[in-house]
Amino acid sequence: MQEYIVEMEHINKTFPGVKALDDVSFNLKSGEVHALLGENGAGKSTLMKVLSGVYTADSGEIKIFGDTVTELTPKKAQQLGVAIIHQELNLCPHLSVAENIFLGREITKMGILSSKEMSKEAKCILDKLNIDISPDEIVGNLPVSKQQLVEIAKALSTNSRILIMDEPTSALSEKEIDDLFKIIRKLKGEGCGIIYISHRLEELQHIVDRVTIMRDGRYITTMNYAETTLQEIISNMVGREIKQKFPRVNVKRGGKIFEVKNLNAGRLVRNINFELYEGEILGIAGLMGAGRTETTRAIFGAEPKESGEIILDGKSVTINKPIDAINAGIVLVPEDRKRDGLCTKLSVRENIALPNLDFLSKSCGIVDENEEKAIANKMVKDLKIKLPDIDVVTDSLSGGNQQKVVVSKWLARNSRVVIFDEPTRGIDVAAKVEIYNLMNDLKKQGIGVIFVSSEMPEILGMSDRILVMCNGRITGELDIEHATQNMIMEYATKFEK
Amino acid sequence: MKKRDDKNILRKIMAIRGMGQVITVAFGLVVLCIVFGILNPVFFSNRNIANLLRQIAPILIIGIGQSYVLITGNIDLSIGSVVGMSCMVSATMMTKGVNPWVAVLITYICCLAIGIINGQLVANCKLPPFIATLGTMTIARGIAQIVNNNYNTDSIGAAAKGFRDFFYYGKNFGVFNTIWIAAVLWIIFNFILNKTRTGRYIYAIGSNIEAARLSGVNIAHITTTAYVVSSFCSCTVGLITCAISGMGTMDAGNGYEMYAVAASVIGGVSTLGGQGILLGTVIGASIWGVLQNGLQFAGAPVAIRNIAIGVIVVVSVLLDVIIRKGRPIRKKKNITTVNKAEIKA
């Protein structure tokens, strides 16, 4: 019988307004790889942040190596042997491998760094792991896969026995994944426990002993990997019932208005092809990092394209900059309203007017304030934005109202295609419904709507057709009559070679 | 009935963004004036006030330019050198017998070129504005030195009397021309900043450059416009400097970029971009002028005046940052809303 090195019992964690972890239990044995699975935002990261001391649980018990731990801080967790290897690596690219491994606890002699000794020590650690990297190499010159190994070496050099790996293979090639797995098996043999978070379900078979599945902040089940199937895992991940009603409207599908052909732009936009018809909402589903946002940004001209053609109303349009797309009649309601959507120091009126000053100003460039006020007032009324008056600074609004301002600045002009990227993220239910109604209105007006969302219920509830993306490619297209959560999940985890 | 109208107008004025800060600073200005007035009765004499205004005018002009650049979220360090370059280029030509007004035109063209280079380096080549304008600052100073072979020029002569009157010595309606120039430039640039698309875009890119870009704003074009305005203002001040002394001096405008930052920042223009009004710059420039003038009367040496201005600038920026420090608390809230979103998703 293997001993438990981590036991988390009945963990609860509430963020303002949301129960992030609801009575979650999780354990890890020494010498095992335990996969933690779930959709985006199922609570995996929150749970791991509790284990590594970043968040403090509201209630529940954590035992590490059999001892109950209270008041866990990141530093304490590290001392107890918990190490996280993040998706984004936390290395200093300009320093050498040895310098990175010993960062913050350098070996010194009378206050002077003894590089030789650190180099030797680092070499020892790397050799033990069979990692073929010179300790004097500059980290920035190494490929990502090797950098990841350096991160692992760094974690082990502090005698970490509990490794949390968050999507370690997302940026690696087949061969590099194999190498990583070899090292994971070796660590396993030495009695380390590894918590493995990944969306690539196929690769689990090579290393995983047990899986725990979470959904909506709750613990669902733990299974021995050998006794389960991929199908069973997927249905446990997505198996929620859709209780919410969505205000779907049915409109007869019209002619083709928009088409994207062979679009390529970076690693996460590979050979994208799709069409959009009048009177439909086209949903784009996928997991985090699938390339959905990147695709919409490439279409809109916010990121440079490598190749590809964009056809609007039968005519090919050239889009190099956002202004080209706006002029052509394609607009993008961006995902991150704080970063991409709002000038938070400016007023609601000025934000709504910003992309529309072309028709809101007189020929001499003077802004027509009456027109501007009229359009801002109209949008505020139409979208039921709650605010004292249109001259308040957007910074002072609630998230839902801010989101509505971002949406309204794009609806104030006549467009042919409106792309919504996660339009309901972080807003309350009432505001969500208003955004849904808005999309329906556009659909009724014959405007093409592209709707990117990570929330499966709303994608299924609102779209007429669904594209599923994974790793920069479209891996599936589903008709709404036949689409199910399981099917979306299957396509969303279909990593093609 | 009439009273209510007054109230409405007052409310309208107070509703202008940044007005609160400007009024606070204006109050400080009044206090400062009273203190200097008590210390020295001559302070409020007609002569001194006219002098004071003539001292303030050039600082206000470069302050307008710096405010434009600061509101876009950048900074222009080349202001002082462009003043010197403008002074030397125009004076050199005039001493060589070029018609003063032709010389003025050519000087403007040269100085605007610096503004265009600044804008292109910052917006298109993505250089940090500090470094880019530090470079052009040195270049412009070099040009100021080289145009007359590393010497200050001789007197620009009698032919330039019209030029000197226009920029400094002449009066219209009993007010010195320098003050008129500052007032007219202020009205024009205030109008552009508040009433035109260009002005709106200047605020937008200072507030959130990515949101502005995604809204179809041509970032490079607007950034360059702001830098060109700044160079235009500096050039004008260079011509005023030349008119004052009647010759070109190579180190004219030395340190003016700092004075321009002082005028803007004291007046409430944020060094982080997106915030500030030109009315504030007027107050900021006035505080600068009153301090210089008042301390001079009080017998304080130049060094003390410099220290005073420096301290006030640092304190103003510090206050600006501290006021905004209240924000991270709000930002934290936003982080949790993001988390909420992730969890919901």
A12 touches chain B (CB under 8 A): no
What totals of helices (H) and strands (E) does chain B contain, helices first?
14, 2
Chain B: residue whose CA lies nearest to A413: B215
Cβ contacts (< 8 Å) between A369 and chain B: which residues? 195
Cβ contacts (< 8 Å) between B275 and chain A: which residues? 345
**Which of the residues B12, B17, B198, B215 would you substitute to probe the A interface, choosing the one with the greatest number of A C-beta atoms within 10 Å?**
B215
pLDDT for the residue A279: 85
pLDDT for the residue A244: 66
pLDDT for the residue A466: 92
Pair A380, A392: CB distance under 8 Å: no
pLDDT for the residue B6: 65
Domain borders along chain A are 4-238, 256-492
Per-residue pLDDT for A151 more than 90? no
Q: With cut-offs at 50, 70 and 90, classify the pLDDT of residue B9.
A: confident
Per-residue pLDDT for B8 more than 90? no
pLDDT for the residue B5: 63
Geometric angle at alpha carbon A183, from A114 and A200, rounded to 5°: 125
pLDDT for the residue A242: 61
A334 touches chain B (CB under 8 A): yes
Pair A438, A264: CB distance under 8 Å: no
Min CA distance, A468 vs chain B (Å)? Answer: 16
ipTM for the predicted complex comes to: 0.80
Contact B342 A41 (CB under 8 A): yes
A429 touches chain B (CB under 8 A): no
Q: What percent of chain A has pLDDT over 90?
A: 16
Q: With cut-offs at 50, 70 and 90, classify the pLDDT of residue A108.
A: confident
Instruction: Give mean pLDDT, residues A389-397.
Output: 84
**Which of the residues A39, A293, A343, A455 would you substitute to probe the B interface, choosing the one with the greatest number of B C-beta atoms within 10 Å?**
A343
Chain A: residue whose CA lies nearest to B192: A366
Q: What percent of chain A has pLDDT over 70?
A: 97
Nearest to B206 by CA among B223, B194, B192: B223
Contact B216 A365 (CB under 8 A): no
Chain B: residue whose CA lies nearest to A423: B341
Instruction: Give mean pLDDT, residues A228-250.
Output: 76
pLDDT for the residue B344: 37
Per-residue pLDDT for A115 more than 70? yes
Report the mean per-residue pLDDT for chain B. 85
Instruction: Give mean pLDDT, residues A83-106.
Output: 82
pLDDT for the residue A250: 83
Provide the token pair at A342: 């709002």
pLDDT for the residue B343: 36
Geometric angle at alpha carbon A463, from A461 and A467, rounded to 5°: 120
Would you list which residues of chain B are within 8 Å, Cβ to Cβ, of chain A? 15, 17, 195-198, 200-201, 203-204, 206-208, 210-218, 274-275, 330, 333-334, 336-345
Nearest to A206 by CA among A234, A237, A178: A178
Task: Say which of A18, A326, A327 has its CB closest to residue B344.
Answer: A18
Per-residue pLDDT for A94 more than 70? yes
Specify the range with the lowest mean pLDDT, choosing from A121-135, A164-178, A471-485: A164-178
Query: A363: exposed, middle or buried (C-beta count within 10 Å: 0-12, 13-18, 19+)?
Result: exposed
Per-residue pLDDT for B125 more than 80? yes
Contact B343 A43 (CB under 8 A): yes
Q: What percent of chain B has pLDDT over 70?
A: 91
CA–CA separation, A89 and A168 (whole Å):
10
Domain borders along chain B are 31-323
Q: How crowded is the C-beta side of A3, counted as CA atoms within 13 Å? A: 8
Please give the torsion angle defined by the CA atoms of residues A64, A66, A71 and A77, in that order, rounded to the nearest 10 degrees.
-20
Instruction: Give mean pLDDT, residues B293-301.
Output: 83
Min CA distance, B73 vs chain A (Å)? Answer: 12
Q: With cut-offs at 50, 70 and 90, classify the pLDDT of residue B312.
A: confident
Torsion-angle region of residue A265: left (phi > 0), alpha (psi -120 to 50) or beta?
beta
Q: With cut-offs at 50, 70 and 90, classify the pLDDT of residue A100.
A: confident
Instruction: Give mean pLDDT, residues A68-83.
Output: 85
CA–CA separation, B24 and B22 (whole Å):
5
pLDDT for the residue B332: 35
Report the mean per-residue pLDDT for chain A. 85
The H or E element that residue B53 is part of is helix B46-71
Q: pLDDT of B185-242, one tens digit each?
A: 999 999 999 889 899 999 999 998 988 999 889 999 999 999 999 999 999 999 999 9
| SS3 call for B294 | helix
What would the CATH number be for the domain defined by A256-492? 3.40.50.300
Q: With cut-offs at 50, 70 and 90, classify the pLDDT of residue B333.
A: very low
Q: pLDDT of B26-47, one tens digit each?
A: 888 898 888 888 888 888 888 8
Per-residue pLDDT for B63 more than 90? yes
User: Same fold for the domain at A4-238 and the one at A256-492?
Assistant: yes
Q: With cut-offs at 50, 70 and 90, classify the pLDDT of residue A496.
A: low
What would the CATH number be for the domain defined by B31-323? 1.10.3470
Q: With cut-offs at 50, 70 and 90, classify the pLDDT of residue A56.
A: confident
Chain B: residue whose CA lies nearest to A350: B200
Q: With cut-offs at 50, 70 and 90, classify the pLDDT of residue B340.
A: very low
Instruction: Give mean pLDDT, residues A108-135.
Output: 83
**Which of the residues B190, B207, B214, B222 would you substitute to probe the A interface, choosing the one with the greatest number of A C-beta atoms within 10 Å?**
B214
pLDDT for the residue B3: 53
Min CA distance, A142 vs chain B (Å)? Answer: 27
Name residues whose C-beta falls within 8 Å of residue A23's C-beta, 6 or more positions apart in sequence.
A10, A11, A12, A60, A218, A219
Interface contacts (A, B; CB < 8 Å)? 123
pLDDT for the residue A267: 85
Name residues whose C-beta falls within 8 Å of residue B137's C-beta, 6 or more positions apart in sequence.
B77, B78, B80, B81, B257
Min CA distance, A243 vs chain B (Å)? Answer: 14
Cβ contacts (< 8 Å) between B203 and chain A: which residues? 343, 345-346, 350
DSSP lists the bridge partners of residue A285 as A468
Nearest to B68 by CA among B244, B216, B280, B253: B280
Using CA of residue A249, residue A252, residue A257, residue A262, what is the dihedral sign?
positive
A354 touches chain B (CB under 8 A): yes
A189 touches chain B (CB under 8 A): no
Task: Say which of B17, B211, B337 has its CB closest to residue A426.
Answer: B337
List, as own/partner pairs, every contact residues A65-72 make where C-beta atoms lie below 8 angstroms and the sequence separation is at least 24, other chains included. Answer: A65/A5, A65/A161, A66/A3, A66/A4
- Of the ranges A102-106, B92-96, B170-174, the best mean pLDDT one: B92-96
Cβ contacts (< 8 Å) between B342 and chain A: which residues? 40-41, 45
Cβ contacts (< 8 Å) between A18 and chain B: which residues? 339-340, 343-344
Min CA distance, A14 vs chain B (Å)? Answer: 10
Contact A367 B204 (CB under 8 A): no
Contact B343 A217 (CB under 8 A): yes
Specify the range with the lowest mean pLDDT, choosing from A13-22, A55-64, A156-165, B84-93: A13-22
Architecture of domain A4-238: 3-Layer(aba) Sandwich (3.40)
Using CA of residue A404, residue A276, residue A356, residue B211, what is the dihedral sign?
positive
Per-residue pLDDT for A141 more than 80? yes
Provide the token pair at A298: 């490439």
Q: pLDDT of B232-285, one tens digit each?
A: 999 999 999 999 888 888 888 888 998 999 899 888 888 888 888 999 999 999
Instruction: Give mean pLDDT, residues B99-108.
Output: 91
pLDDT for the residue A240: 63
Per-residue pLDDT for B326 more than 80? no
Chain A: residue whose CA lies nearest to B336: A15
Instruction: Give mean pLDDT, residues A337-347.
Output: 86
Task: Say which of A216, A322, A346 has its CB closest to residue B204.
Answer: A346
CA A254 to chain centre: 33
Instruction: Give mean pLDDT, residues A210-218.
Output: 88
